[in-house]
Amino acid sequence: EEARVRFDPIEAEARRLLAADGRCFDVDTTQVSFNGTVDVYGTLDLADALDLDDAITTRAQALADLGCEETLDVRRSMAAGDLARNQGSLEFPAAPRRQVVLNVHSDGGPFATLENTRSFHSIDQVRDWCHASSVHVRQVIDLNEHRWNQGHDPTPLLREQVNLTHPTCVFPHCTRPSRSCDADHIIEHDQGGPTCSCNLAPLCRHHHRLKTHGGWTYQRTAARIFRWTSPLGHVHVNDLTHPRHT
């Protein structure tokens, strides 16, 4: 898809504009099951879809916090109904203006990458989103700079540097985005490990628990290479510079 866009940008722009006319959102009340469920489906603008997903995720977690014991999928379906009614035992907060987070590495060309979905778009599409969003310019971070701070928790700039250096959890084969991961001290902080660029790496909650309680250990052998050892002594090298060789 990216190659098609780069080598035929005129046709790609025509397809983008045509796709915008194809957005829809349908609740199929003509096909109600005997069990009383219906199918909902749609094609949304990405920024709208991210906002909708965030709202449903937040409400689903609130339902769990209030004691709901249904599965996550069921709670998300319930959250959609609550969102429609804007009611329930816990009110939804006021909806913020939508936010599109962009980390753009550009040579001045007509394309950009949206970091939180790792998707490829035209600059014109990005411009359309920004016109309807709050725009905040963030400080540029040198990924090669060694940052550190005292205390256990990294500063926002240090955490952002870790996220940009390692876009996913550093456990082998895990693809969980780093922004939803914990900033783990490779050498534990209470064992003298510093809070710094070379001693922090993103681990999703599951793999963080494997490291803390499951007997797994790891070392950082290069900027983006990690050597993991299982409780049985098996070694797994996660080379994030060449993901296919993990």
In a domain, 12, yes or no: yes
Number of structural domains in the chain: 3
Tell me the three state secondary structure of residue 160.
helix
The enclosing H or E element of 157 equals helix 156-165
Rounded to whole angstroms, the Cα distance separating 216 from 59 reads: 34
- Contacts of 17-21 with CB under 8 Å at 24 or more apart are 20/45
In a domain, 143, yes or no: no
In a domain, 173, yes or no: yes
In a domain, 62, yes or no: yes
Q: Is there a single domain that holds both residue 119 and residue 181? A: no
Rounded to whole angstroms, the Cα distance separating 210 from 222 reads: 22
In a domain, 184, yes or no: yes
* Neighbouring residues of 69: CB distance < 8 A, sequence distance ≥ 6: none
Q: What is the model's pLDDT at position 232? A: 94
Q: Is there a single domain that holds both residue 115 and residue 179? A: no
Q: Is there a single domain that holds both residue 134 and residue 57? A: no
Q: What is the model's pLDDT at position 108? A: 63
Q: Is there a single domain that holds both residue 53 and residue 111? A: no
Q: What is the DSSP string of 37-69?
A: ---EEEE--HHHHHHHHHHHHHHHHHHHHTT--
In a domain, 34, yes or no: yes
In a domain, 153, yes or no: yes
The residue out of 40, 65, 85 marking a domain boundary is 85
Q: Is there a single domain that holds both residue 134 and residue 160? A: no
Residue 112's domain comprises: 97-138
Rounded to whole angstroms, the Cα distance separating 47 from 130 reads: 10
Instruction: Specify the residue for token string 């769990």.
Output: 64
Beta-carbon neighbour count of residue 70 at 10 Å?
Answer: 13
Instruction: Specify the residue for token string 């397809």.
Output: 15
In a domain, 191, yes or no: yes
Q: Is there a single domain that holds both residue 157 and residue 235? A: yes
Q: Is there a single domain that holds both residue 235 and residue 210? A: yes
Q: What global pTM score does this model have?
A: 0.53
Per-residue pLDDT of the chain (246 residues; tens, 9 = 90+): 888 888 888 888 888 888 878 888 888 877 767 677 888 989 998 888 888 998 999 999 999 999 999 999 999 999 998 888 775 444 555 445 555 556 655 556 777 776 656 667 777 777 776 775 566 666 677 888 999 999 999 999 999 999 989 989 999 999 888 988 999 999 999 999 999 999 999 999 999 999 999 999 999 999 999 999 999 999 999 998 865 444
Chain centre distance of CA 238:
20
Q: Is there a single domain that holds both residue 45 and residue 107? A: no
Q: Is there a single domain that holds both residue 105 and residue 177? A: no
Name the β-bridge partners of 215: none
Q: Tell me the residue length of the chain.
A: 246
Q: Is there a single domain that holds both residue 16 and residue 60? A: yes
Tell me the three state secondary structure of residue 236.
strand
DSSP letter at 165? H
Q: Is there a single domain that holds both residue 105 and residue 18? A: no
Q: What is the DSSP string of 81-144?
A: HHHHHT-SSSPPPPPPPP--------SSSSEEEETTTTEEEEHHHHHHHHHTS---PPPP--TT
> Using CA of residue 110, residue 115, residue 120, residue 123, what is the dihedral sign?
negative
Q: Is there a single domain that holds both residue 209 and residue 155? A: yes
Q: How many angstroms separate the Cα of 56 from the Cα of each of 28, 68, 77, 155?
A: 20, 15, 8, 29
Q: Extract the tokens encoding 150.
A: 């005292």
